[in-house]
Structure 1
Amino acid sequence: MKKGLGHLLVTRQEKFAFMKQNTTRFPVEMMSRALGVSRSGYYKWLKFSCTKTREIELNEEIKAAFERSNRRYGSPRVWLALSKTGTGKMVSVATIARRMQYLRLVARPTRRFVHTTDSDHKLPVCPNLLERNFAVEKVNTVWVSDITYIPTDAGWRYLTVILDLADRSVVGWTLSRTLHARHTVIETLNQAIQRRSIKPYSGLMFHSDRGIQYACDDFREILTCYGITQSMSRKGNCWDNAVAESFFKTIKTEELNRQKLLKSASLNSLIFKYIEGWYNTKRIHSSLKGLTPWEAFYEKTANLAA
């Protein structure tokens, strides 16, 4: 065996690789003598080889998770995604961050958030009943809402969203050309009520900022009809509505800011794909312990049914 292999296996690495491939056929001691290498050297190489193999596998898993997120995830969410497959439980977030830096995988940077609320009006406002209690267990208990502007090639467009604090789902959203309440908050609220099959006086709270759309009589009339309790942020305090504002930061960072100037004609489709095809169904949330909004919804509703 030694004579034949002497011509074929030149380097120690080749000899060690041969030994690894044939451990089920020949004893390690016999192969090491035949190939003129030490057993200790082989085991040291084997340990290093396994480590390198695992690093390569981990790199591939990280790249796959990053690409599945459409290059949106940073290291914390990549770690959460890998935890679902068991890999994340074997490595730390710091390890994922180092590997992503080595692989040059960088999530989209955030831009400065610009708030557009018009709270300079004479309409009555509600107290802040939510008081930043964003941790809610039961779905359809607390909804939060906000409006943001989006520049396009045809002028401003306005995105209104309503989120359920329990599962972080976007339960209603509307893209409009104007900031009129009928085209923004009213249409979005009606959509959310229908989508979640809300019954009158079911104990739902609706929280928003003090924008004129949320304070107008037409909007409040719908809340009253359904017995929905209204809560508003304190004046000039964006942190009171942090979850809704965080959503806008997320959608702009992960999707809208990828283009220098969005096309108005395709914007509704773009937002639909992001919210319904990604955010609600596939995007994992650290606040939901690595679950997606859909997974959290079904988990929480299943617990109630049980």
Structure 2
Amino acid sequence: MVGFIDDQRGKHGVEPICRVLPIAPSTYYDHLAKRADPARLSDRARRDATLRREIERVWEENYKVYGVRKVWRQLVREGFSVARCTVARLMRDMDIRGIIRGKPHRTTIPDKKAPCPLDKVNREFRVPAPNMLWVSDFTYVATWTGFVYVAFVIDAYARKIVGWRVSTSAQTGFVLDALEQAVHDRRPTKAMGLVHHSDRGSQGGNNRSSQHRRSYPV
């Protein structure tokens, strides 16, 4: 966003651009001041800048194959006091990652032939009250005995998980079980007009639970 303002400020001006974008002019000017004088950055921002250089160095020195765990362990061996989650956050921000052995694993595969429900939320995931919009997805975790799949339903109002299930196979049943758990615990009413939103993934028939709207008794 700051880069866009940098590119367009000469043509449109900073204030007009900020009126359209969700950013205040003071925020933009503060960013410019910190960019010109790194001493004005917060302690965390300065430490992140240092760690980014070290993370990239370790990653480059090891042929760009190290992932979060190995980069973190190498930094600790070199005497850096840094949490693994910090390394993960910075590598994600830097868009660098390790090489994954074996065949990449995909949770869902879009089925272009399957009917696609209309987007009832128009990519707007802010709601004024609970039980108006639930979003769901599922992911996987690699273990020594194979993959474990986790389905979850999140209430968009509080970003709280309201239903979840774990399974050793990526089938529709456990995804719908997570939704039914959320319904049982929350008991949304018809007046709430609850919308359940998910992606278009179709692996294991999961398009059956793709975005739909239902009414439930109290």
Structure 1 length normalisation: TM-score?
0.37
Q: Is the 8 A contact 2:194 2:215 kept in 1?
A: no
Counterparts of 2:115 and 2:47 in 1: how far apart (Å)?
53
Q: Tell me, yes or no, if structure 1 residue 142 matches structure 2 residue 119.
A: no
Question: CA offsets per residue over residues 276-306 of structure 1, 9 Å max, x none?
Answer: xxxxxxxxxxxxxxxxxxxxxxxxxxxxxxx
Change in Cα spacing, 1:104 to 1:148, as seen in structure 2 (3 Å) is same
Q: Which residue of 2 aligns with 1:257?
A: none
Report how far residue 108 of structure 1 moved: 3.7
Displacement of 1:209: 0.6
Q: Distance in 2 between matches of 1:135 and 1:93?
A: 31
Q: Are the aligned partners of 2:195 and 2:213 in contact in 1 as well (CA < 8 Å)? A: no
| Deviation per residue, 1:56-114 (Å, 9 max, x gap) | xxxxxxxxxxxxxxxxxxxxxxxxxxxxxxxxxxxx87223336769843414145897
Report the secondary structure of 1:134's partner residue.
Answer: coil
Q: Structure 1's 160 and 128: CA in aligned 2 closer, same or farther, altered over 3 A?
A: same
Matched position secondary structure for 1:140: coil
Secondary structure, counterpart of 2:42 in structure 1: helix
Give the total of aligned pairs.
Answer: 132
Q: Measured at CA, do residues 131 and 173 of structure 1 come closer, stay the same or move farther in structure 2, by a change above 3 Å?
A: same
1:144-203 per-position Cα deviation (integer Å, ceiling 9, x unaligned): 1111122111111111111111110011111111111112x2100011112212234531
Q: Distance in 2 between matches of 1:196 and 1:93?
A: 44
| 1:1-306 aligned within 5 A | 94-98=42-46, 104-106=81-83, 107-109=86-88, 110=92, 116-120=107-111, 122-183=113-174, 185-200=175-190, 202-212=192-202, 213-216=205-208, 219=209, 224=214, 226=216
Structure 1 unaligned runs (5+)?
A: 1-91, 228-306
Identity of aligned pairs, percent?
A: 31
Aligned-pair CA distance for 1:225: 5.6
**Separation in 1, partners of 2:214, 2:195:** 11
Q: Could you tell me whether the CA contact under 8 Å between 1:158 and 1:179 is conserved in 2?
A: yes
Higher relative contact order (CA 8 A, sep 6+): 1
Mind listing any 5+ residue stretches in structure 2 that lack a counterpart?
A: 1-39, 52-79, 99-103
Q: 3-state DSSP class of the match of 1:189?
A: helix
- CA pair 132-224 structure 1, distance change in 2 beyond 3 A: closer
Give the RMSD, CA atoms, in angstroms: 3.2
Q: Write the distance in 1 (CA, Å) between the matches of 2:107 and 2:150.
A: 11
The 2-side partners of 1:121 and 1:176 are apart by: 26
